[in-house]
Structure 1
């Protein structure tokens, strides 16, 4: 590249600068309403354009202008997105994408002081010098730009606007002391992540804004902060450019950064640009540093604090410039023009930009340089080298990507299938934050490529596909950032649980979940609060504290419902010795004065509700229990009253007490009926006591409700039967454990009143028989579900004996004869001790075999 041709610089003198209407430079610090003024002036003209430093800022203003002028009249033009309705008259653009249209009545350039930026300054300088509106031009920027405007655009009218609010320094604060609605500014992704993670633990989380995020992800994070979902924002210095935020305080985690060439301290103008995000319109803001970060904490000097508070900064003395319209004769001519020195002393040559670095590298490769021939080819090659390095991987890596792209483009257009395949490979929303950031950077490159009308066939379709993929990836990245750095539950608690914790909106969900702003922090198991098991250990103390403050109120409301239901008997039940409400144990039965007079003890969790609510519930449940037991236990309570009446006599009192303690049924052998006088027997009948062949029982006490109530009380006293009583009181059961009110009959269990009915029928047959022996029909037993074997066992227990007839002789025909029964009264002897060895042996006494067959053949096996 030794043969450099001198550049032919564009117009830079006032004599040959484009003519136009008035030029106005509106200068001042942040929060002075400059952008708002430009939007008003744009809409006041018949056509116009505004150039912005950021795509997301252009998009924000585009939405505002669309609301005023209508989408059909407004265009959005950026490197990655173009919305250009036919005949659009108002254009919102990035500075790089501003079209050269002298027919526009109004043109504005926002953040014009970026002309001094080493990376993009030459673009803003070119727009400042050459882009003009037919009727009005407006340059917006910092007051530091004033000397340069006076020198380079002397015809401009300079208007200085004061800041609407005051910006004050408040010193250093620890992260735990940073107030809500604050932005913490760091200068590396690692530091941003550390700050956001700490805020998640102690303050519920933060939104994250970095230059590496896609515009859509940044907008989503900012929207999360703006809506109040989180109270903190952690950002890089990208937050200082164009983002309009409701920030009250800006905390600097550091005051130096790596600018791509060296690690340096921020200038006061850069500090002020970031600190100026604090305060909005007429609301004052504060700024300071972050203390306790380890190592040496950052501190502002007194001079820097004075400069930021008073908006006094060193004026700009030079702007960066690069030839904007180079010649495309050869690659050497192009590079020479781009490297040509500025035409004026107020302009400076910028550091080598990424596009020029890529151009130089590829021009030095013979295989690539050989493919660039002719002015049109050189111009096209330069446009390819100007592809932004969204991946930020350096000139070497970016040059390889550009070289591959040029090989496909130099022959014409990129095929739709090729572009669609490249876009589809990136359409994968899985992965961590870094992976998604890499994919978004790559898809932004393809969005830029697809926007070029002379690069891609089916441009509109491919651009729409690329935007759709970027949207999906951005949504996924926003979700990962939120998942990692936002604890919604803690955010709600920290925001609401301030000085007046009673304002915390804690409520109880229908499923028992304890909710704060519809965010579950735990649930009630009965009346006991259980913290959400997914909560971090650091959050548990906070959640418990929040719940403890409001549990009395929640419990009082729930106890009022319990007392109301107890008064009506709704959703209240007695089971397993507990009083249950909606399936939850709220009280338990305890030993009282007698078995039939239990004491009610509330569950310990109900004690937190306070004495008034607790006593009300205690009284309501006690009244419900008494009403419930009074009906169910009426037969047994009559016996209990008789057992306490001296006039009843000792024998009857003993029998009544025995029946009460046995749930209304005892074996006849244990009843000592022989001790009762005729008057006592008559009184026993009036008390509902029935003397059966095998059992003495109270029929009214053997229904489902009385048995269930007595079983619950007996369990408290340790008198519970071997099995709970069945709910339906089925006449016959086939189970191993014999419940209360039943007796065993072989492999089955028969209800004692049904057993008495069968025995009563058998004795009726016996008494009506002419001889000593008689035939018993098992039809009634079978209708109850009792088997032949069970029926035979019942009869034997009551003193009946069967004599099997002789079998038919060989050759005889006809039905077998039924067995003949007789009855012998049992011996009036005291029964042996229960479960004694002699009793067990007697129950297993062998029986003579019966060699018969037929309808009653089962009796033969049973009686064998």
Structure 2
């Protein structure tokens, strides 16, 4: 066409017309190329090259130097055949006319146009039948063909589960949505495309295999089996240029009668031998418009040529005949009005609702057009009603079909005022709805994550495109497959049950590398993100190891958690060494306990001192005098224990260094000290709940053991200072130190009472006397039970224990 001074091409689909329009514009420029379809019109004033749908072509060729008709064999189509037959017979170029079509059309062309030159273009690649295949066994780059929307959706849903998804192409989709879905397949984002027989015309795809989900379709009248030529038209999508293709049927569907090709079908498709067309559908393209009755009679007239047959009643004729019986039809007179009425009845049924429903829409349109034009406000309101992207796939499809009707109406300059503005609004609304429909289809039928993983199965694990984000999400090409907390991988919670095994398998291939990098980063940062809780080492909320004292020792042993099992041996060994070094540094807070443990193995320590040390170790640094068995300890061993940091208090025996916050927190975190923990280890706290570790009760308060000892020591010093020779029984104690620690007077009295001090309250002031009360007096009077425990035990006589004592001596 571009080699001629002007040209016109007719196509079966506006999608094809738009594709060729873009190619011609690239050669000739926008000012010289026009695009005319039912719903879109781009017509520069000086255009010389026209790309049209077959219905929009001038029947005589429009006086162009070159005229072409694509897919001319559609003259045998029940619904649109008469259009293609008319263009085949009447559309002619001044210099050249080109009819493109299947070889089955050749006999009729020879008969109708004897002087036509017929040139065949054989297929360069071979098409081979490979038999039935289950959906799970379909090769990549396959197209699955079904013949109903329900079957298309069912197959697409299965592919989403097992293969990561598919593109979806149906005749009901808008061209924009079809283009977007085809791009999904062509770009390789999905390896499968599910389509109706619309795929057999005008879509040039990188398909290697075509699988038929069924060989039966509804042709508008009845359910029938596809003829071999139709099968070949669809199967021929497999292979491109010199790339061979295959075809077959898909098994495992829900059909009662599974599809299967016969030997004759296979032979015809592989060798390109098909029965020729014997008839083309025809309808008078220049009927008379004297009256509606005359118009109907001409449209149903039987052709004279034997190669032609009257076309079945198409939707436009069915609407015309239905509305001819309406009362308003009697008012339509004159050839101009009859022609205009026929043009309104020729509005395509984009919504596929049938003649009955479509005729009501046409009748309303005619009522509005009788006044001349449709107002811009009215058209804008109808478009606004449909400009809504909410709803499911079916709802959006319905709106797109309805907006296509209004786009068609807006292209008629004799129907709509402000045609260009209204047509632009309709196209914008359709584009918006098409984007929404593409999004819904992709969301429902494409699982990009599964598609990526299916493509990478069997690859070298080091080459998998797996990355770890800063927030711990593990992704494959930006698609999340799970998250890593610490060194534990958890599959994405949004994944369904069928996908979880695949996601886990993909993650495990990359985890040694990912976790190895994480381990090295943890070592490099100095293990700062690790914590100790409940006897385990944790990173965040995840446990990576457990801690337990070594047998017979206060030293700690680390056992690596199962989450580290996926690490490479070298990375795991390095991490375990770093954890042990980190734990050793943390354990310095427990050095006093370690010294005590070492002293229990000192030969200079007697059995009594070792027993006390073991008791202190078991008490995690402190023990009450009542439970210490102190009366068994020789006094000469006390300096040995004091050098180890042991303090012999009035009420408790303890190590002051182990009462600081760091060792108490560590002992609690290790789980060895299960008593309540006071984080800051402040001197005095309110006495609520269980007794915290390192404290003793004092009335309604708890006082830290070493603070209590400091207060009791001050009390004994006050006693010794006021009564150095022990002649006075009563003395006074300054409460300022106790109050400064936070003890209340009542709690201080309880603490002193527990240590053997007895309070003597002061006398009350006499009646009428003024001034402060006298300070209380105290008396040191330890209980007899304590004195008895402090006295040495009398040697046993006359029993087995006496004999044992003799042996010991």
Q: What TM-score do you get using the length of structure 2 for normalisation? A: 0.89
Q: Deviations over 1:701-728 (max 9, x none)?
A: 2222222333345x35xxx24212x332
CA 1:254 to 1:721, structure 2 compared with 1: closer, same or farther past 3 Å? Answer: closer
2:558 aligned to 600, 605, 630, which one?
A: 600
Give the corresponding residue for 2:679: 727
2:740 aligned to 777, 780, 783, which one?
A: 783
Corresponding position: 1:53 with 2:5: no
> How many angstroms apart in 2 are the aligned matches of 1:325 and 1:764?
130
CA 1:747 to 1:76, structure 2 compared with 1: closer, same or farther past 3 Å? Answer: farther
Q: Is the 8 A contact 1:186 1:237 kept in 2?
A: yes
CA 1:139 to 1:645, structure 2 compared with 1: closer, same or farther past 3 Å? Answer: same
Give the corresponding residue for 1:742: 695
For residues 323-338 of structure 1, what are the structure 2 equivalents within 5 Å?
Answer: 323-338=284-299
Q: Is the 8 A contact 2:462 2:513 kept in 1?
A: no
Give the corresponding residue for 2:324: 363
1:209 aligned to 155, 169, 172, which one?
A: 169
1:643 aligned to 588, 600, 604, which one?
A: 600
CA 1:767 to 1:45, structure 2 compared with 1: closer, same or farther past 3 Å? Answer: farther
Q: Is the 8 A contact 2:7 2:67 kept in 1?
A: yes
> How many angstroms apart in 1 are the aligned matches of 2:280 and 2:175?
28
Corresponding position: 1:587 with 2:545: yes
Give the corresponding residue for 2:796: none
RMSD, aligned α-carbons: 3.0
> How many angstroms apart in 2 are the aligned matches of 1:362 and 1:635?
105
Q: Which 10-residue stretch deviates more, 631-640 or 602-611?
A: 602-611
Give the corresponding residue for 2:806: none
Q: Deviations over 1:157-209 (max 9, x none)?
A: 44432323222222222323221111111222233233223323332332222
CA 1:86 to 1:666, structure 2 compared with 1: closer, same or farther past 3 Å? Answer: farther
> How many angstroms apart in 2 are the aligned matches of 1:458 and 1:804?
108
Query: How far does residue 560 in structure 1 lie from its aligned partner after superposition?
Result: 4.4
> How many angstroms apart in 2 are the aligned matches of 1:782 and 1:463?
90
Query: How far does residue 406 in structure 1 lie from its aligned partner after superposition?
Result: 1.0
Give the corresponding residue for 1:297: 258
Query: How far does residue 250 in structure 1 lie from its aligned partner after superposition?
Result: 0.8
> How many angstroms apart in 1 are the aligned matches of 2:475 and 2:559?
30
Give the corresponding residue for 1:669: 626
Give the corresponding residue for 1:623: 581
CA 1:757 to 1:401, structure 2 compared with 1: closer, same or farther past 3 Å? Answer: same
Q: Deviations over 1:230-254 (max 9, x none)?
A: 2112211111010111110111223
Q: Deviations over 1:466-514 (max 9, x none)?
A: 3333334333333333343333333233222147677554444444444
Q: Is the 8 A contact 1:291 1:297 kept in 2?
A: yes
CA 1:793 to 1:224, structure 2 compared with 1: closer, same or farther past 3 Å? Answer: same
2:436 aligned to 476, 479, 497, which one?
A: 476
Give the corresponding residue for 2:211: 251
Secondary structure of the equivalent of 2:230?
A: helix
Query: How far does residue 744 in structure 1 lie from its aligned partner after superposition?
Result: 1.7
2:497 aligned to 527, 530, 537, which one?
A: 537
> How many angstroms apart in 1 are the aligned matches of 2:619 and 2:115?
113
Q: Which 10-residue stretch deviates more, 225-234 or 463-472?
A: 463-472
Give the corresponding residue for 1:462: 422
Query: How far does residue 592 in structure 1 lie from its aligned partner after superposition?
Result: 1.9
CA 1:88 to 1:818, structure 2 compared with 1: closer, same or farther past 3 Å? Answer: farther
1:309 aligned to 263, 270, 283, which one?
A: 270
Q: Deviations over 1:367-413 (max 9, x none)?
A: 12123122221121111100001122221221122112111111122
Q: Is the 8 A contact 1:663 1:740 kept in 2?
A: no
The ranges of structure 1 where at least 4 consecutive aligned residues each deviate by more than 6 angstroms after the TM superposition are: 499-502
Give the corresponding residue for 2:178: 218
Give the corresponding residue for 2:233: 273
CA 1:459 to 1:795, structure 2 compared with 1: closer, same or farther past 3 Å? Answer: farther
Q: Is the 8 A contact 1:497 1:504 kept in 2?
A: no
Q: Deviations over 1:676-697 (max 9, x none)?
A: 5554332223222222332222
Q: Deviations over 1:197-236 (max 9, x none)?
A: 3323332332222212222222222222222222112211
Q: Is the 8 A contact 2:8 2:66 kept in 1?
A: yes
Give the corresponding residue for 2:799: none
Q: Is the 8 A contact 1:53 1:111 kept in 2?
A: yes
Give the corresponding residue for 1:702: 659
> How many angstroms apart in 2 are the aligned matches of 1:311 and 1:401?
44
1:578 aligned to 512, 536, 539, which one?
A: 536
Aligned residues: 782
CA 1:549 to 1:319, structure 2 compared with 1: closer, same or farther past 3 Å? Answer: same
> How many angstroms apart in 1 are the aligned matches of 2:174 and 2:763?
103
> How many angstroms apart in 2 are the aligned matches of 1:162 and 1:817?
126
Query: How far does residue 628 in structure 1 lie from its aligned partner after superposition?
Result: 2.4
Corresponding position: 1:263 with 2:223: yes
Query: How far does residue 825 in structure 1 lie from its aligned partner after superposition?
Result: 4.9
Q: Deviations over 1:401-456 (max 9, x none)?
A: 21121111111222333333333333343333333333322222222222222222
Give the corresponding residue for 2:138: 178
Give the corresponding residue for 1:760: 713
Q: Deviations over 1:588-646 (max 9, x none)?
A: 123422351233222233334465544443333233323322x1221111111112112
> How many angstroms apart in 2 are the aligned matches of 1:65 and 1:579?
70
1:796 aligned to 727, 736, 753, which one?
A: 753
> How many angstroms apart in 2 are the aligned matches of 1:539 and 1:299?
31
Secondary structure of the equivalent of 1:594?
A: coil
Give the corresponding residue for 1:320: 281
Q: Which 10-residue stretch deviates more, 137-146 or 384-393?
A: 137-146
For residues 402-551 of structure 1, what are the structure 2 equivalents within 5 Å?
Answer: 402-498=362-458, 504-524=464-484, 526-551=486-511
Q: Is the 8 A contact 2:530 2:537 kept in 1?
A: yes
Q: Which runs of 5+ in 2 are unaligned?
A: 791-809
Q: Is the 8 A contact 1:689 1:698 kept in 2?
A: yes
Give the corresponding residue for 2:797: none
Q: Deviations over 1:305-334 (max 9, x none)?
A: 233223233333443332223332321232
Q: Deviations over 1:328-354 (max 9, x none)?
A: 232123223323333544333211211
Q: Which 10-residue stretch deviates more, 549-558 or 256-265?
A: 549-558
Q: Is the 8 A contact 1:632 1:706 kept in 2?
A: yes
CA 1:166 to 1:757, structure 2 compared with 1: closer, same or farther past 3 Å? Answer: same
Q: Deviations over 1:726-759 (max 9, x none)?
A: 3322222224222222222222222222223333
Secondary structure of the equivalent of 1:198?
A: helix
Query: How far does residue 360 in structure 1 lie from its aligned partner after superposition?
Result: 1.4
> How many angstroms apart in 2 are the aligned matches of 1:755 and 1:52?
101
Give the corresponding residue for 1:284: 244
Corresponding position: 1:655 with 2:608: no
Give the corresponding residue for 1:237: 197
Give the corresponding residue for 1:684: 641
Query: How far does residue 55 in structure 1 lie from its aligned partner after superposition?
Result: 1.7
Q: Deviations over 1:118-141 (max 9, x none)?
A: 211222233333334455543322
